Structure 1
């Protein structure tokens, strides 16, 4: 009769079966450890590999952190278009206009452009009268080289708010700057980015 199915010895059968079970569990644990050692690193490396997020946009904001590497050369003159943008066309009461810009690489290849605040100029005019310029009282500025892809519009990430007053470098600390005329007065926004100026202005009304 087989001693595997019917263990022989002075102890009861269940004692021998319990001992065999302990030995089998020990062998199984050793096998599992060996498999984890062999397979584990490969699976770990695969899990850490970054994957593309289909929900994120590939179009960066002009005011975002600069690209880690700018592959293209500097944008050639005439290969960039700049558009002036406002958040509304009519402003009532004390509502202050939020001014932005959109820049587009109109060339055939990627190129680099300074999109930082040091290269941005926002100008508000009424006819030929310049009411306000963003650089008049600018205290901090930054240079951000950014790679523009062909045909991809890039909008400034944070608008500049015009406080509806006339600006001048010698009035930056004044609390009594001249207020811009309202009551249906028409104004035009012109923007410039790294030497590229918008070809058309953006009209808006102060009520």
Structure 2
């Protein structure tokens, strides 16, 4: 006589609880993995810092000109076009400098008035250093100042593509800001009559000789100290500085 099929063995409640717990843990792990892939908490606060501006590999981006406070008639320089939005870099030494903020927005000339291009007869440009002499280990800070001396507004390119800083000693050119410049940009502004503008942040010269062939060099010739005299000249928008800024290195 054949026997009837046996009934399936029923597990104890403890076994079911363990299975439910294991399933719950698996679901929690899956949810955690999905959250990590979406939220990426490890990237929080990990914004890339600017490169070491002290390095010889750094490429110069000249400082954009910033406008002075509005004159008494309430007008100031007005950008007519601006370069691509870039992140400001930390002020640098050597051939590196900060690409500073754009000139402050202001009132444009009256409708129908077209500002002609600025000429050397309209604008005076001045080379500026933060000191007249520098002790050993101190690096000169270089800037530009310009004033629209005319009675009419005029338009000038004050972007990084239009700025040149040159340091000479006698007939020897020691350093030129454009030797290793990368990604220059244009910025056209309207300079109103009597308006003064200046570099928003200075360029730091690390007292070395520059050339297009040594942009990546780690050890470039150092400028002589001991009271040696140097001249800074600048150019912006095709207009040369009226005088050199003279300083000494010790």
Q: TM-score, normalised by structure 1?
A: 0.68
Aligned to 1:57: 69
**Contact 1:70–1:145 (CA under 8 A) maintained in structure 2:** no
SS in 2 for 1:192: strand
Aligned length: 152
Residue 61 (structure 1) shift: 11
Aligned to 1:127: 170
Write out per-residue CA displacement over residues 1-59 of structure 1, whole angstroms, 9 at most, x where no aligned residue: xxxxxxxxxxxxxxxxxxxxxxxxxxxxxxxxxxxxxxxxxxxxxxxxxxxxxxx9325
Q: How many Å separate the matches in 2 of 1:145 and 1:184? A: 40
**Contact 2:119–2:239 (CA under 8 A) maintained in structure 1:** no
Runs of 4+ in 1 over 3 A off after TM superposition: 59-64, 66-71
How big is the alpha-carbon RMSD for the aligned residues of Structure 1 and Structure 2?
A: 2.3
Aligned to 2:148: 105
**Contact 2:78–2:108 (CA under 8 A) maintained in structure 1:** no
Residue 73 (structure 1) shift: 2.5
Return the match for 1:197 from 240, 245, 248: 240
Return the match for 1:166 from 193, 200, 209: 209
Aligned to 1:177: 220
SS in 1 for 2:213: helix
1:149 aligned onto 2:161: no
Residue 69 (structure 1) shift: 7.9
User: Which one has a larger percent helix, Structure 1 or Structure 2?
Assistant: 1
Write out per-residue CA displacement over residues 94-127 of structure 1, whole angstroms, 9 at most, x where no aligned residue: 1110100101111111111001111000000001
In structure 1, stretches of 5+ residues that fail to align are 1-55
Q: How many Å separate the matches in 1 of 2:241 and 2:177? A: 15
Aligned to 1:53: none
**Contact 2:153–2:192 (CA under 8 A) maintained in structure 1:** yes
Q: Highest Rg: 1 or 2?
A: 1
Q: TM-score, normalised by structure 2?
A: 0.57
1:118 aligned onto 2:155: no
SS in 2 for 1:171: coil
Residue 74 (structure 1) shift: 1.6
**Contact 1:61–1:154 (CA under 8 A) maintained in structure 2:** no
